[in-house]
């Protein structure tokens, strides 16, 4: 366990001008790992039943805290990060309080993901809707429900390889300029993996299936991420309009 | 030929309905899975464009059609502008998104309405 001073030193190094992208990712991972206990503490306060799923949001809170922590203030990073973690979790639970995915649909999401992976492994290409329904042995309504539910589920389990991808994501090499200026603050709040996915799709113009293959993810996971990212960008624009 | 047409109030809470219909029609077109997703996204963005230019109180009209491996959308609403502004500049990142995911895209004014015509392709 690091002392408050040691954490401050990691942040100081992270902000130094000569830190490499690789070292920057290492430092962030170390700080995130150091605050896993804090993330879990706040999740338990809010919703003990979905501990693992909310870890991802807590991690985003720590990343936001790293970016915004004032080293000159006489306050421990953990105190500052705690507020960010709590904010991320409480906002999510407030905004999604009415979303409850039935257990049968949750199980279909798993079936569909597995069927899609299996199809891609066999045919080396994505299935169409009908092919996926056949391969997953689901009727069309069941597949609709599973795909829709997949998009509205923004959270990930710790056992999910995506969570580790998020933490280990390399620094995004994409620059979001010009047309992206109006949503720059929202882009700055994205996790490194999310910036990467956004850049691969809309700067490099790669298809979801290509992104999935390159990042070692499932296309449905890329779809879910993109939907979540674009939703946040839109919220940012809407919020700006309301402020004007 | 139109498969589904719908008229909704100009309010963000109806976007969910638009997305769901786009998925159903995209499935009828038997789109590849990522194109199915992008058909929804394109319909969503088209709705956002209409919302931006609609006359106050004007409803938004959508018509989807499924072809083999292609989803077409024609969306329109009443608009009091005499000419449309330059799109990449006005829409910013939303323009990047909608122009990236569509195979064809046309936005125009006609008879006091702003129209969005687009298609998303994705077949084997």
Q: What percent of chain A has pLDDT over 70?
A: 81
* pLDDT tens sequence across B29-87: 999 999 999 999 999 999 999 998 999 999 999 999 999 999 999 999 999 888 888 87
Reported as type and span, the H/E element at residue A132 is: helix A129-136
Contact yes or no for B56/B65 (Cβ under 8 A): no
Do A180 and B93 make contact, defined as CB atoms within 8 angstroms?
yes
What torsion, rounded to 10 degrees, do the Cα atoms A126, A130, A132, A137 define?
A: -160
When CB atoms are compared, the residue of A126, A151, A233 closest to B34 is: A126
Phi-psi region of A6 (alpha: psi -120 to 50; beta: other; left: phi over 0): alpha
State the pLDDT confidence band at A46, using cuts at 50, 70 and 90.
Answer: low
Region of poorest pLDDT, from A86-90, A124-128, A213-217, B58-62? A86-90
Provide CB contacts within 8 A for A135, sequence distance 6+: A115, A116, A118, A119, A127
Q: In chain A, whose CA is at the least distance from the CA of B41? A: A227
Do A230 and B41 make contact, defined as CB atoms within 8 angstroms?
yes
What is the maximum alpha-carbon separation in chain B?
Answer: 42
d(CA A38, CA A47): 14
Across A182-190, average pLDDT: 85
When CB atoms are compared, the residue of A127, A151, A179 closest to B88 is: A179
DSSP designation for A160: S
Neighbours of A33 (CB within 10 A): 13
Contact yes or no for B87/B95 (Cβ under 8 A): yes
Q: What is the mean pLDDT of chain A?
A: 81
Of A176 and B43, which is predicted with more confidence?
B43
For residue B124, which residues of chain A lie inside 8 Å, CB to CB? 125, 128
Q: With a cut of 50, say whether residue A152 has pLDDT above it.
A: yes
Q: For residue A167, what pLDDT is reported?
A: 45
What are B77's strand-pairing partners? Answer: B114
Tokens of B28: 């009828």
For residue A214, which residues of chain B lie inside 8 Å, CB to CB? none
CA angle centred on A123, ends A122 and A127, rounded to 5°? 110
What torsion, rounded to 10 degrees, do the Cα atoms B82, B86, B91, B92 define?
A: -160
Of A150 and A70, which is predicted with more confidence?
A70
Interface-testing mutation among A128, A141, A217, A227, with chain B (most B C-beta atoms within 10 A): A128
Do A129 and B88 make contact, defined as CB atoms within 8 angstroms?
no
Q: Look up the domain containing B28 and give its range.
A: 4-121
Q: Is B43 on the interface with A (CB under 8 A)?
A: no
Q: What percent of chain A has pLDDT over 90?
A: 22
Q: For residue A9, what pLDDT is reported?
A: 92
When CB atoms are compared, the residue of B30, B93, B97 closest to A182 is: B93
Do A127 and B33 make contact, defined as CB atoms within 8 angstroms?
yes
Q: For residue A82, what pLDDT is reported?
A: 85
Q: For residue A213, what pLDDT is reported?
A: 86
Q: How far is CA A10 from CA A51, A216, A227, in A?
A: 27, 30, 33
Q: Is B90 on the interface with A (CB under 8 A)?
A: no
Do A128 and B88 make contact, defined as CB atoms within 8 angstroms?
no
* pLDDT tens sequence across A99-143: 566 777 878 888 998 999 999 999 988 999 999 999 999 999 999
- CATH number reported for the structural domain that contains residue B65 in this entry: 3.30.565.10
Q: What percent of chain B has pLDDT over 70?
A: 100
Across A46-62, average pLDDT: 71
Tokens of A64: 């936001």
Q: With a cut of 80, say whether residue A243 has pLDDT above it.
A: no
Contact yes or no for B68/B61 (Cβ under 8 A): no
Distance from B93 to chain A by nearest Cα, in Å? Answer: 5
Q: How far is CA A141 from CA A34, A79, A108, A148, in A?
A: 44, 47, 11, 11
Across A1-11, average pLDDT: 87
Interface subset of B 11-30, CB within 8 angstroms of A: 12, 20, 23-24, 26-27, 30
* pLDDT tens sequence across B71-86: 999 999 999 888 888 8
Q: With a cut of 60, say whether residue A242 has pLDDT above it.
A: no
Q: For residue A239, what pLDDT is reported?
A: 66
Neighbours of A88 (CB within 10 A): 23
* Helices (runs of H) and strands (runs of E) counted in chain A: 13, 0
When CB atoms are compared, the residue of A205, A209, A233 closest to B34 is: A209
- For chains A and B, count residue pairs whose Cβ atoms are closer than 8 Å: 74
Q: For residue A158, what pLDDT is reported?
A: 39
Q: Is A183 on the interface with B (CB under 8 A)?
A: yes
Across A47-66, average pLDDT: 75
Tokens of A221: 């996971």
Q: For residue A159, what pLDDT is reported?
A: 40
Helix axes A36-46, A51-68, angle to 10 degrees: 120
Number of compact structural domains in chain B:
1
Q: For residue A220, what pLDDT is reported?
A: 87
């Amino acid at each position: 366990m690091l002392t408050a001073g040691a954490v401050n030193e990691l942040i100081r190094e992270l902000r130094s001008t000569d830190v490499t992208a690789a070292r920057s990712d290492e430092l962030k991972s170390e700080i995130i790992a150091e605050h896993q206990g804090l993330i879990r503490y706040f999740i338990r306060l809010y919703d003990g039943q979905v501990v693992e799923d909310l870890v991802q949001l807590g991690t985003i809170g720590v990343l936001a805290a790293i970016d915004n922590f004032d080293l000159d203030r006489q306050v421990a990073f953990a105190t500052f990060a705690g507020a960010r973690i709590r904010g991320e979790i409480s906002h999510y639970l407030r905004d999604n309080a009415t979303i409850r995915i039935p257990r049968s649909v949750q199980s279909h999401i798993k079936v569909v993901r597995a069927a899609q992976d299996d199809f891609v492994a066999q045919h080396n290409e994505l299935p169409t809707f009908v092919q996926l329904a056949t391969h997953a042995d689901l009727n069309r309504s069941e597949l609709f429900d599973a795909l829709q539910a997949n998009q509205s589920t923004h959270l990930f389990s710790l056992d999910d390889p995506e969570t580790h991808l998020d933490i280990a994501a390399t620094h995004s090499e994409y620059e979001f300029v010009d047309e992206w200026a109006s949503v720059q603050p929202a882009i700055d709040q994205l996790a490194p993996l999310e910036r990467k996915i956004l850049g691969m799709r809309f700067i490099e113009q790669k298809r979801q299936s290509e992104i999935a293959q390159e990042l070692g993810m499932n296309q449905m996971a890329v779809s879910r991420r993109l939907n979540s990212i674009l939703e946040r960008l839109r919220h940012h624009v809407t919020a700006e309009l309301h402020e004007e | 030929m139109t498969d589904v047409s719908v008229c909704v109030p100009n309010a963000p809470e109806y976007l969910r309905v638009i997305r769901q219909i786009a998925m159903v029609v995209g499935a009828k077109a038997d789109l590849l899975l990522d194109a199915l997703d992008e058909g929804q996204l394109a319909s969503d963005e088209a709705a956002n464009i209409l919302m931006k230019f609609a006359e106050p109180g004007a409803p938004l009209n959508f018509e989807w059609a499924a072809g083999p491996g292609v989803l077409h959308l024609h969306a329109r609403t009443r608009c009091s502008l005499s000419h449309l502004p330059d799109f990449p500049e006005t829409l910013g990142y939303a323009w990047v998104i909608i122009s990236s995911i569509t195979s064809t895209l046309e936005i125009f004014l006609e008879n006091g309405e702003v129209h969005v015509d687009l298609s998303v392709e994705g077949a084997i």
